[in-house]
Amino acid sequence: MAQKLALVTGAGNGIGAAIAAAARRAGYRVGVMDANAEAARAMASQLGDAIALPCDVTDEKAVDAALATLGGTPDLLVNNAGIVKFGHLLDISVEDFRRVLDVDLVGAYILSRAVGRGMRERGHGNIVSISSINAITPSLGTNAYAAAKGGLVVLTKLLALELGQYGVRVNSVSPGFVDGGMSTAVFANTKIRELRTNAVPLRRLGSVEDIANAVMFLASDASSYIHGQDLGVDGGLVHSLLSQIPRA
């Protein structure tokens, strides 16, 4: 049987790098896509037998060229690339708002569209997108990031409606507090780290591997009837609001 192929976007660092490594361990040949060319190459060479794909997910032509380099439609697509620019909605620029939407939502659409066509033709495939708990309960100041992540959950449901009949499953994962990637600086502050850890019902921060494990579960046959879902991987955080409010 031919080796399975996975494409992970934003795989040069953080959660994406952990997903790429988990996919490699699960037997996939991995396409390591990242706008940071150096990071894409370093991660691909660290994995061994992987394909570096330096590419911005918002650039349709570059994505098509990267898919040609990959050498075919992947069995697994993980839309993980994402950026955040904090600031109140009334104070940020429209340019910044657009850029975040473009990377976090439109980029996932561009990849899902290009790869989804190949999956539809072949009659199987699996797409997992990395959203955030901000899609469900947005944190003040996350502006376009939260809006994009909410859009990504709905995009997932729409793709599931379109692609299910062709044997293609589509789901998303919504991480909570993750000790790594774009949150590394946040959790370097020991006071914030302690406060946030204590807010999580499981009383620990998530690791990048916790998120990668959830992605690999959704990519595997163990989840063969799970479709169009958003899987929260947050130690119970999203559902803890009322328990954090003092009672008389």
Ligand X SMILES: NC(=O)c1ccc[n+]([C@@H]2O[C@H](COP(=O)([O-])OP(=O)(O)OC[C@H]3O[C@@H](n4cnc5c(N)ncnc54)[C@H](O)[C@@H]3O)[C@@H](O)[C@H]2O)c1
CB of 123 to ligand X, least distance (A): 28
> Judged by CB, which is closer to ligand X: 37, or 158?
37
Angle of helix 94-101 versus helix 143-163 axis, rounded to 10: 30
What are the phi and psi torsion angles at 7 (to 5°)? -120, 120
Q: Is 175 in the site for ligand X (CB under 6 A)?
A: yes
Q: Is 181 in the site for ligand X (CB under 6 A)?
A: yes
User: For this structure, is 145 an active site residue?
Assistant: yes
Asked whether the beta carbons of 23 and 74 are under 8 A apart, the reply is no
CB of 99 to ligand X, least distance (A): 9
CB of 233 to ligand X, least distance (A): 9
Buried b (16+ CB within 10 A) or exposed e, 74-84: bbbbbbbbbbb
Helix (H, G, I), strand (E, B) or coil at 103: helix
Judged by CB under 6 A, which stretch of 4-12, 154-162, 224-232, 235-243 contacts ligand X?
4-12
Q: Is 39 in the site for ligand X (CB under 6 A)?
A: yes
What are the phi and psi torsion angles at 210 (to 5°)? -55, -40
Smallest CA-to-CA distance from 79 within 60, 50, 103 is with 103
> Judged by CB, which is closer to ligand X: 126, or 172?
172
72 φ/ψ sector (left φ>0, alpha ψ -120 to 50, else beta): left
Among 32, 58, 73, 112, interactor with ligand X by CB under 6 A: 58
CB of 66 to ligand X, least distance (A): 10
Stretch 66-85 residues interacting with ligand X (CB under 6 A): 80-83
Residues that bind ligand X (CB under 6 A): 9-10, 12-16, 34-36, 39, 56-58, 80-83, 103, 107, 130, 132, 175, 178, 180-183
